[in-house]
Structure 1
Amino acid sequence: MTERFSRETLLLMAILATVVLILVLVALLLSSWQWSWLGIITTLLIFTYPLGWCGWRAWRYLTEPWMRLTAYTQSLNEGEQRVVLSQASRPSLTEGLVVEIDRLARHRLQAVQQQQSFSLLLAQVFDNWPQPVCAFGESTILVYANRTARELRGISLLLGARAGDMGFVFSDNQLHHPSLQKGWQNQSIRYRLAEEDYWLFIANDISLPLHQSEMIIQNNLVRVLSHELRNSLTPMASMTDTLLEMQSWPPEQVRQVLDRVRQRARGLLNFVQRFASVSQVPQPRQEWFDLSSLVEQSRSLLPGGTELSFFGEHRCHGDPILLGQVLMNLVKNAVEAQLKPESEIQVRFFHADGMQFLMVEDQGEGFANLDNALTPLYTTKAEGAGIGLALVNMIVARHGGRIRITNRPEGGASVELSWPLTIRSP
């Protein structure tokens, strides 16, 4: 603004200087003609009016079009779209500038209308959603927030404000908010509209499902622990009561009671160790090894008449100790599920599309409940603890893979493990 006013002042001073110079020249000319001072002053007064009028017209000619152009640009910048700059108000030397201003104004109007249409579409879709939904435009400026998002406690949402100013942070190319961490699941989707990037942020309240899941786990934990403790402590209490009721303690009978108490105690300790192993799975140390050697070790679990067949690739990439435990658990489950003394357990392993696949199939009774088979502490076996498959699932997850369980149409169960082949074979 200061620079603009200084240039206008210089222009005005230049016009005034020109008028004064002309008057001085006229005065000098009349003086050279030996006019009287009265005549010179009278003539200068007569010349002052037309010269002032010409200077004023020159000032209007040079500044008024620019003032109109400035007012026109300011109106467009403030969002007024009905203002039109007349042809007469356009300086011929700046016609290109006027064209560019009109083009930018139309582009901005189109962007504003498109953003308004987009906000209206979001309002129609998400206003009644029970989940908080926010949309951020260019430079992460908030352009929309539904009713549920505006009612969130601890978050002040202001349209036109930046995401960072409202507490949102970027992490792993995703939007998060510190107030929506515990009990919330945040999801943000990036998309492009009219050559601009937008972010759609959705938060799901998962506190109730988490609480229900925790209650199910706690109930299963109490059920399994009470079952194991009852099975172990009840016989121990009964044998000690019988021993205490006796008048004399025959050494042989005392030894027999103590031996049974020891067996029960060891069984209970073994259960506790297996239970703790589910939450103590270490990070895998992956390397190349021969999977067939682990299959041979699993043959020690087979009863008489049961065969274990191995098909496919021998070289496997993973943690041999953890995967050995996986194979032991799967073979043990297959042995316990067999319906007849003579049966076959098949182990298949192969590579495909950068993934490794390990399949164990048996000829047993199959899974009684596929939906809960991987749930920790859930079991349909009379003497099971529901830990084997949960441990297998956790070990495979540590390798970045997943587990898939099915019942075979011809009878028996199938467990398929898949995890990525992270490095190339040497």
Structure 2
Amino acid sequence: MANGSFEKRIFTTVLWAILPCYSLAIFLLWSIEVSFYLQALVTIFLSAIVGFSCHHFYYDIKDQFISLANLVEALNVGDFSLRGKAEKGQSGHSDLIRQVNKLADSLTTARYDFKESQLLLAKVIKQIKVAIIACDEQGKITMVNPETELLLGLNESKLRHKTLTDVNLGQLTELTSNSIKKLTLGSRTARWHIFKDGFREQAQQHTLYIFSDLDLLLSQQEQEAWKNLVRVLSHEINNSLAPIISLASTLDKLTARSEIELDDKEDIQSGLKIIRDRATSLKHFLAGYRVLTHLPQAKLQSVDIIPVIEQLVSLLNYPVKLSIPAQVILRVDIAQLEQCLINLLKNAHEASGTNNEIDLLIKDRANQVVIYILDKGPGIQNLDNVFVPLFTTKAQGTGIGLSLCKQIIEGHQGQLNLSNRAEGGCQVEINLPR
């Protein structure tokens, strides 16, 4: 009996409790002198009642345990919709059913909370502007966020089949957390702050890498500092230039009406004209820098940039060789993008000379578009300062062209890079997200 099922053990216990009474009743029935047929009829009737009761008792208990087993099995497989029906009143069985139902309610609430947390985490990972990569014990990529897809130029479905070594990041396994290292992550070479930590998923150890672009952060802070400096200088200098221009004009009129010898009068008026012209020229010069501090937010709209580039090249009439696809749809502020391309093509034309051809190429990738502008000039002598406002190598330059271009591209969540080519000349690389 000890090795039988729980239901059978209960049934056997109940049966041993009934059998003595049943046997005693049958013995007394057959001990008295009554009709044989009455004795047989009563015996059959008692036996039927006992047998039916035992059968009903056994299968009722079995059904209850089967129902409980189904409830627990549903919870085990993640189906929290089933509920048991508990009888009114207090009993061990009813309490057990109620507790199982409460457990199902708690698991349902926990599941919804977990899903909401997952959705929130997914939104944060999707919108955060840092690259995130998760790898398993073999170094195979198991998860990336959209920022990483943009940098590497591949969708997550394709990256899942690759290892860190396949994307030139094999050295990450040797780094410690909170490291700062200069490396190439897809299309961007920069100094990265790398956070590294482990986690477990489905009983397997994984490693999480988070990349923060320190160069981009420093560049944004530098741009903001330059904007503030230009804003203050423009305000202070303009406040000084306005009265100088006004006083020069007033003195010029007073000199014209005064009784001064002609030669002296001409000298004074000539000097005042120089002061007025130089002050006016300086005022116009400062007005150009206001563009850096008052660039409006990009108004993005989906456009085909190919006709725009072709029309722009035709209007500029520079010797430009185009290697571009038939169609490229991007969400851009077309006016700002045109201004950026005009500045970059003008720089390439001035660097290359009149007769040297400029190459403009477009590579259309899964989640980004890369525009290359290649010239045949002498290259850039000081690459570290090309995006610094006021810095220029041109005799008549103002030092705002490249700074403005960088600000425009970063306003489109893209990246602008300049580098010298091995064969000579400069390469401009514009990465724009889809």
Q: TM-score, normalised by structure 1?
A: 0.46
Q: TM-score, normalised by structure 2?
A: 0.46
